[in-house]
Amino acid sequence: MTTSPLFTPVPLRSTTLPNRLVLPAMVTRLSGEDGVVNDDIRARYVRFAKGGVGLVVVEAMAVHSAKSGPLLRISSDEFAPGLSDLARRCHDAGPGRVFPQIIHFLKISRSGWRQTIDMLSLEEIDAIVDAYGAAAARARACGFDGVELHMAHAYTLSSFLSRLNPRKDAYGGTLENRLRLPVRVLTRVRAEVGDDFPVGVRFLGEECIRNGYTVVDAGPIALRLARAGADYISLSAGGKFEDARHIEGEPLYPYTGYSGDRCMPGANYPDGANLYIPEAVRAFLRSAGDETPVIAVGKISSAALAEQVIARGQGDLVGMARALLADPDIPRKWRSGREDTVVRCLYGNVCKALDENFRRVDCTLWPKKMGQAPESDDTIAPVWPAAGPGLRAEFAEGRVLLRWNAATDNEAMYGYQVFRDAGTGLLAHFSSVRGASARFEDPRVVGGDTYRYAVRPYDLAGNRGPMSDVVSITVPV
Amino acid sequence: MTTSPLFTPVPLRSTTLPNRLVLPAMVTRLSGEDGVVNDDIRARYVRFAKGGVGLVVVEAMAVHSAKSGPLLRISSDEFAPGLSDLARRCHDAGPGRVFPQIIHFLKISRSGWRQTIDMLSLEEIDAIVDAYGAAAARARACGFDGVELHMAHAYTLSSFLSRLNPRKDAYGGTLENRLRLPVRVLTRVRAEVGDDFPVGVRFLGEECIRNGYTVVDAGPIALRLARAGADYISLSAGGKFEDARHIEGEPLYPYTGYSGDRCMPGANYPDGANLYIPEAVRAFLRSAGDETPVIAVGKISSAALAEQVIARGQGDLVGMARALLADPDIPRKWRSGREDTVVRCLYGNVCKALDENFRRVDCTLWPKKMGQAPESDDTIAPVWPAAGPGLRAEFAEGRVLLRWNAATDNEAMYGYQVFRDAGTGLLAHFSSVRGASARFEDPRVVGGDTYRYAVRPYDLAGNRGPMSDVVSITVPV
């Protein structure tokens, strides 16, 4: 059906991912404080699995029982029935494999205080190793296809890897010392799950904080972890406590500073903003003769860019979090040559803002109050009214304002894509607007330039109606 | 003598740069509070010019008379004699052209308070335009070959371009509004200096702060400035007040936060860390049919990397600040095929730390107390003692410790280069140590890997003695 390299399988020990598209772990805030899998969690991951992604990494679940906000748990057998059920339902829903991401974190308080790794005794470090080992064994027993060890962002293992690791003993200082606990955890997990069960690691390719590490250290870290038995290297960036903004009365949240911007690059970043990271780390691994697959992420939402990642050796697998949140059906749509029906993420980071405000993480592009990406087998596209789209543009207060006539659909309208040509002669997807709105403002224009715009309606199945007429406007100097 | 594309000329209006190597403006803290060119400043820039760089951009000089620390001034005719003399001496010393960088900045106080652009009245904004125009005319009258407008880092024009520009009027909000003052300044400068005098602009390709702009905005900014008459686009990154660290009793200093790290990427960053920035901006210009030359910077210190910048279209000119501080003779050494005598910057950022501590900016690799890069026509290399280099390696406390026997030179020893092979089979330059020291510690090693090392002595002219024997050590797990 497709000759895209994205749809070739990837063997990982005893299992095989059916394609190279990955849903990285993503906070949903759908779970309760009890840490048990609930209906909302189940529905969310079944929806992802149904879309055909090759690997679903289920959001971070705690290996220990420390108090926290809403967070899944895998810290004791009481959580096993819910997790087993989740794994089974995802397997029933789609072709992909399902790995839980397992996490250890330290204490934080609403005062802004946080526990740091230099406060940990050697016994507490041993307990972290034990907890990861037991959680990984539980993941296998629950029927997951593998497990991912969370060594990224602001959490315990990442703090050991950090260039700012403050420990003065064998767990801090040199790179080898910073790697000591992560390698111990990985070694223990491998001993617990056996040789046939895939174990992936996710860590930062770049810390994106003052004096933090970059790919200069991430290459050797990846190689050390690969040699210690990691089956894939998944690279994130940023998301640290060091530059987080403290909101009075709330616990410190690690995606609120610049490093949070870099973790989930928004509309002010170019597509594929972080791809230089997996590219450099993968090149380092390959130059050392290591063939461990690398998962690349960071604002990837088109098949062309995803294929370029593979072609340029920037990664072996392509992770998409926000893009799959906006449209979980991306894999099956790309595979069947229906990319034109994908509802594309705008990277407006409303999802990130919801998370930062401790609210349920939905996509703002979804139809209102749906709480989930729509599903539909409808194939009939929206139509413009008899009067036509009537697209018109005006310039006011430094912005181009577009207005048009609303389209209608046999099923239900979902939104409009906005296309722009800023002088290249090509109309490219520039933004989207949801639902009934039939207006759009563009503040990203400069004086003296001419811009062309068009809009296109889409319905719940992503069917696109006809492109509107094209309007042209020259911005005054 | 060379076929390198780095040594082809670049026409800029009525002048021509003899090659594509550029010294970007760099703080020296050599001037007094009076802002007059002194002996130290003169010696520093004459030394740069002598090395053969195609364009010397003299450190930022103020277009206005606001109080500040040690900073050159071009704000009135009283400064003209010193500046004229500086231009003339640089012209006498080498083949390159000499442009002053001219700057406007707002007030900062030792309390941490700083004036921000939303405090500026429309009259004050007009005064900025006037001051830039007069300063540029003065630069021309002083015999400089062109002028560079400072629109980067934490200073006034950069704050207008910023995505965090807080103004609510026609100078803030949309991209076109953010560009309004920089375009007015450029237009006025052009009117003052005439059509034949080159005017370059330097601004940020990426702000590297929370919610800051990236190449997504920098492309349109570059295009707008190019169309308004800029003769080159010089791209820096970071260096903002927003994430600066306040030191009690000292004025806020904009290179002390993460954005400061990104402005002058240190040893923890890969070579060419910021090259994706000029690459993207240049591609944007070219796609719009604009051919304005772009200056790429960011941890470039080898001819191979500099040539790659040109070959890959990451820039038309190559800026090197710290590399030329360490060895101003890089251009003539590269040109004559003598790259093996270059004293290579280690990006340890001692120069940056000196600046942050309000001290004179020298290079730590220079022989002690010299206050300048050495000059020598000697061609006799250092020699090892009769007993040979005797290089030995041991592992202790997570580090590899190297020791060897000191070399001697007919003239004077300068330092040792340290080479390392981390498993690729190639010994590559890894670090340098200065002067009499005959030991080196490497903390960047991981357990289980084998490392090979060698060292090589060099003298004041950069002549290298013979490579030592190679030692091999396997780091225990």
pLDDT of residue A369: 81
Strand A147-151 to A97-103 pairing:
parallel
Helix (H, G, I), strand (E, B) or coil at A357: coil
pLDDT of residue B67: 83
- Asked if the Cβ–Cβ distance from B475 to A179 is below 8 Å, we say no
Question: Which residues of chain A from 147 to 206 reach within 8 Å of chain B, CB to CB?
Answer: 163, 170, 173-177, 179, 183
- Asked if the Cβ–Cβ distance from B446 to A257 is below 8 Å, we say no
- Closest CB to B268: pick one of A163, A177, A397: A163
**pLDDT tens-digit profile of A225-245?**
999 999 999 999 999 999 998
Contacts of B441 (CB under 8 A, 6+ apart): B399, B400, B401, B402
Which of A225, A268, A285 to mutate to test binding with chain B, by most B CBs within 10 Å of its CB? A268
- Asked if the Cβ–Cβ distance from A175 to B475 is below 8 Å, we say no
- Count Cα atoms within 13 angstroms, Cβ side, for B299: 22
pLDDT of residue B1: 54
Query: Does A215 touch chain B if contact means CB atoms closer than 8 Å?
Result: yes
What is the gyration radius of the CA atoms in chain B, in angstroms?
Answer: 23
pLDDT of residue A370: 86
Which of A346, A444, A399 lies closest to B221, judged by CA? A444
Residue type, B289: G
pLDDT of residue A1: 54
Contacts of B329 (CB under 8 A, 6+ apart): B50, B51, B52, B342, B373, B375, B462
| Tally of CB atoms within 10 A around B93 | 18
For residues A132-159, give the mean pLDDT: 98
Lowest mean pLDDT among A123-137, A314-328, A340-354: A340-354
pLDDT of residue B29: 93
pLDDT of residue A270: 96
- Separation CA A257–CA A242 (nearest Å): 8
Lowest mean pLDDT among A57-61, A242-246, A302-306: A242-246
For residues A422-427, give the mean pLDDT: 84
Quote the minimal CA–CA distance from B412 to chain A in Å: 34
- Asked if the Cβ–Cβ distance from A210 to B176 is below 8 Å, we say no
pLDDT of residue B25: 97
Query: Does A10 touch chain B if contact means CB atoms closer than 8 Å?
Result: no
Contacts from A352-356 at CB under 8 Å and sequence distance 24+? Answer: A352/A255, A352/A260, A352/A264, A352/A266, A354/A29, A355/A27, A355/A29, A355/A255, A356/A253, A356/A255, A356/A256
Contacts of A429 (CB under 8 A, 6+ apart): A344, A417, A418, A419
What is the complex's ipTM, to 2 decimals? 0.91
For residues A442-470, give the mean pLDDT: 93
pLDDT of residue B66: 86
Residue of B nearest to A398 (CA): B174
pLDDT of residue A221: 96
- Separation CA A14–CA B469 (nearest Å): 47
- Separation CA B180–CA A213 (nearest Å): 38
Query: Does A398 touch chain B if contact means CB atoms closer than 8 Å?
Result: yes
- Asked if the Cβ–Cβ distance from B175 to A445 is below 8 Å, we say yes
| Tally of CB atoms within 10 A around A344 | 18
Quote the minimal CA–CA distance from A283 to chain B in Å: 12
Query: Does A316 touch chain B if contact means CB atoms closer than 8 Å?
Result: no
- Closest CB to A446: pick one of B224, B397, B446: B224
> Which has the higher per-residue pLDDT, A377 or A100?
A100
Helix (H, G, I), strand (E, B) or coil at A432: strand
Query: To which residue do tokens 């335009």 refer?
Result: B129
Residue of A nearest to B262 (CA): A210
Query: To which residue do tokens 């909101």 refer?
Result: A247
Quote the minimal CA–CA distance from B56 to chain A in Å: 30
Angle, helix A215-227 to helix A180-193, in steps of 10 degrees: 30
The H or E element that residue B188 is part of is helix B180-193
Quote the minimal CA–CA distance from A205 to chain B in Å: 12
pLDDT of residue B448: 86
- Separation CA B363–CA B434 (nearest Å): 11
Provide φ and ψ at A396, rounded to 5°: -155, 135
Report the alpha-carbon angle B380-B385-B390, nearest 5: 120
A246 pLDDT exceeds 90?
no
Q: What residues in B contact A211, CB-CB < 8 Å?
A: 261, 268
- Number of CB pairs, chain A paired with chain B, less than 8 A apart: 132
Helix %, strand %, coil % for chain A, to 5?
30, 20, 50
Residue of A nearest to B396 (CA): A174
In this structure, what token pair is assigned to residue B99? 């442009």
- Closest CB to B175: pick one of A211, A276, A443: A443
- Separation CA A311–CA B307 (nearest Å): 24
- Run means of pLDDT, 10 residues per run, chain B, 477 residues: 87 97 96 93 97 98 90 97 98 97 94 92 98 98 98 97 96 94 98 98 98 97 96 98 88 91 96 97 95 97 96 98 97 95 93 89 90 92 95 92 96 94 87 87 89 96 95 92
